[in-house]
Structure 1
Amino acid sequence: MSSRQEALEEYARAIDDLRTRAEGEGMTADQFEKILSESLDEVNKEMNPRVSLVKSLRKWIIRFSKLLLLCLALYAMVSCHTPTQKSLSRHIQSFIYPFMRVFRKITLPILHTYPELAEWHEEPCLIRNPLYGFRGPDCWPCENVRSVLTFTTSPENFADTYFHSGVPFVLKGHAALVNKDKIKDLYSENQKIINRSAPRISAEHMESTVYMIDDFVKIPEYNLTDVHPDAHLTWKVTRSEAARVLKKLFPLPPFMPPNTEAAIQRFIFIDGPTAPTYTIPLTDFANVWVSQAKGARLLALNSSPQCIGRCYGVSILLQEGDILFYNWQFWRSRSLPVSGATDTTITFVGSFY
């Protein structure tokens, strides 16, 4: 105990000596106390690293908790207060897509360095939110629809009348005509890209449930018309490389507004002449176009779950070269075989913002 007291006394004398020297050099008492305090903090960190770490971690947790509480309060206000929600949505709506586009461009150098991340990068959703529920639209736009409108030229008033609306229509004779040979030629010209970006085709009522694209192009035509007339194949594309390649065969619809952009996700359905009814899957964006590239299919549009009881189902015979437009917020579509058909059909499905 005496040795400790002696050490403290010697330390105090050393501090007094330093203070005297500092005053002789013109340093004020406040400056000296500040330097002394900083020096003691450094010594304390070196002597007690765990204590310093705990203090830093405690400060970080307190700051994070305050930020989290602030975010939760803002989220609760936006979620529960409808006027605030509508005001916020109206002001940020035009910034969402440009922000996501810039963010995607920023991540491209990372993808070039780590190409194996590309599959995750181009997925629309990695983790599903189990608490999310689609509220649905106001169904009044589709209440008076009794049939699908037909046009021979692209409607000039598309943006004002049909964009984000519940009114479906068919544009006759504007879809690119595509057969299996054209798909084979496209694959031959872009094998590396397609094998890397969209190599699999799922199948129903065939020998296998999954075909690699290089195996699919070797399947003879009669296999789908005579051997497996009820075959249904789905080629789903979710990566940008393959989507750009498919544009060569399946261009964007002429009525798509220039200030929007198509989703990367694309579907190509190849059906035998008696392929059974199937549901067109929901696309990334609600504005959907269906291009009938080969043959004919009957498309039935049923009212969405949110609009049942207010909107009526309609149907349209989608003939070769036709493009159907609809919005899946109001309609959910099913593809049915055409009675008496003897040929395979190819249907392309895309969407835009």
Structure 2
Amino acid sequence: MVDLNEYRESVQQIKQYAAEHNVSEAQTSEIFRACFRQLEAKYSKKYSNRLKTSLKFAFLFFLISIVLLRLCNQKWINDVFIRISQNSIYPALYVLRKLAIPIVSLYPSLSELYDEWCLIENPYFYINDIDCWPCTMVYSVPDLTGHNISRSFNIDIPYTRAENNTKVKMEDLVDVYWSNQDIFDQDARRISSNNETFKTIYDIMRNRLDLYPTDSLTTHISWKINRMRPNRILRRLFPKPVETPNWWSQGMEKYIFIDESASPSYLLPNPECSNIVIRCVAGARLIKMTPSSECIQHCRSLTILLSTGHTLWYNWWYWRPVSLPVYNATDLSIGYLTSFC
């Protein structure tokens, strides 16, 4: 920053020097004016060049923006871009997940950054011009127990499998919780429920619904687990589904649903990956396969009974399943939902 006092002193010294060497006041003023003209010419040219450069960049940016907007309106270019980006999302996420595993293992606290409880799902999310052909020809949900899923199989068609060796009772969940209470209370404490008595996972394990059912039998509990340590522990009870395609990568989000026999209907969540597997490990629930809002005009709704030891596979791009109570059911129902990319 310029010091005006120093500037004044320098001007006085120049005037004094001019007077001592017989330079008139008019000549001294002319010398000052000549210096100012040189400075003005120098800096005005510099600022002019900067202004011209800025205007060129602004015009170029404006021109590129217009070209991109025109290109985006071309349907074939938009389709190519979407196809390329969609095909690269899952491989990129798979590589990123593989790279993150050793880092998160060394620093488990980093998994807290993945917590999304503050986010709200956009209820107005809608895809224009989605191709609904995977669900248009679905008239029933087939049982594909024992069938291998190849790459040529249309995995967007919903189907079921029998996995009778994956039955889990409430007491199994309770035992796992009390054996690892510190981890669950720290990394997977929060739940959502229509019963105000249950606010944390500790409340569920302390007031067991299998031993102390409510009078109305309508309690629904949704337990979301999206951190590494509790996921590894629960993997003992809920292993990876049998015959899962080896090119699928499992998502981090897991859900456990605990429902009393008269628990009301609720919409199954949409996790990060679109290929969903929901496993019934205790009791039974009716699953109504409702087409997504984009495909509801082209596809029909279906209802299946998901009983103990069976899994349902579907894609949430085309289906928005609803869980319903089974008529005359008496047992507590436990479901496990995971996703694959």
Aligned length: 303
CA contact 1:171–1:322 (8 Å) conserved in 2 = yes
1:185 alignment counterpart: 175
1:298 alignment counterpart: 286
Secondary structure of the structure 1 residue equivalent to 2:329: coil
Q: Does residue 148 of structure 1 match 2:130? A: no
Q: Distance in 2 between matches of 1:92 and 1:345?
A: 40
Secondary structure of the structure 1 residue equivalent to 2:78: helix
Name the CA shift for 1:273/1:132 in 2 (closer, same or farther; >3 Å). closer
Aligned pairs for 1:56-95 within 5 A: 76=69, 79-95=72-88
TM-score, normalised by the number of residues in structure 2 = 0.73
What letter is aligned with 2:192? S
CA contact 1:136–1:329 (8 Å) conserved in 2 = no
When the two chains are superposed, the root-mean-square deviation of aligned CA atoms in Å is 4.1
TM-score, normalised by the number of residues in structure 1 = 0.71
CA contact 1:294–1:344 (8 Å) conserved in 2 = yes
- Among 233, 241, 249, the residue aligned to 1:245: 233
Unpaired segments of 5 or more residues in structure 2? 1-10, 19-46
Secondary structure of the structure 2 residue equivalent to 1:229: coil
Deviation, structure 1 residue 217 = 1.0
Q: Distance in 1 between matches of 2:71 and 2:116?
A: 28
Q: Distance in 1 between matches of 2:57 and 2:103?
A: 30
Aligned pairs for 1:41-56 within 5 A: none
Once the two structures are superposed, residues 31-74 of structure 1 have per-residue CA deviations (whole angstroms, 9 ceiling, x without a partner) of xxxxxxxxxxxxxxxxxxxxxxx9xxx9xx99997997698568
Q: Does residue 345 of structure 1 match 2:333? A: yes
Name the CA shift for 1:203/1:80 in 2 (closer, same or farther; >3 Å). same
Q: Which has the higher helix share?
A: 1
Name the CA shift for 1:100/1:171 in 2 (closer, same or farther; >3 Å). closer
Q: Distance in 1 between matches of 2:310 and 2:104?
A: 41
Q: Distance in 2 between matches of 1:276 and 1:126?
A: 25
Name the CA shift for 1:216/1:126 in 2 (closer, same or farther; >3 Å). closer
2:153 alignment counterpart: 161
Q: Distance in 2 between matches of 1:76 and 1:85?
A: 11
CA contact 2:149–2:245 (8 Å) conserved in 1 = no
Q: Distance in 1 between matches of 2:101 and 2:145?
A: 42
Deviation, structure 1 residue 193 = 2.2
Secondary structure of the structure 2 residue equivalent to 1:303: coil
CA contact 1:232–1:269 (8 Å) conserved in 2 = yes
Aligned pairs for 1:255-294 within 5 A: 255-294=243-282
Unpaired segments of 5 or more residues in structure 1? 8-53
CA contact 1:177–1:293 (8 Å) conserved in 2 = yes
Aligned pairs for 1:91-102 within 5 A: 91-100=84-93
Q: Distance in 1 between matches of 2:331 and 2:202?
A: 22
Q: Does residue 320 of structure 1 match 2:308? A: yes
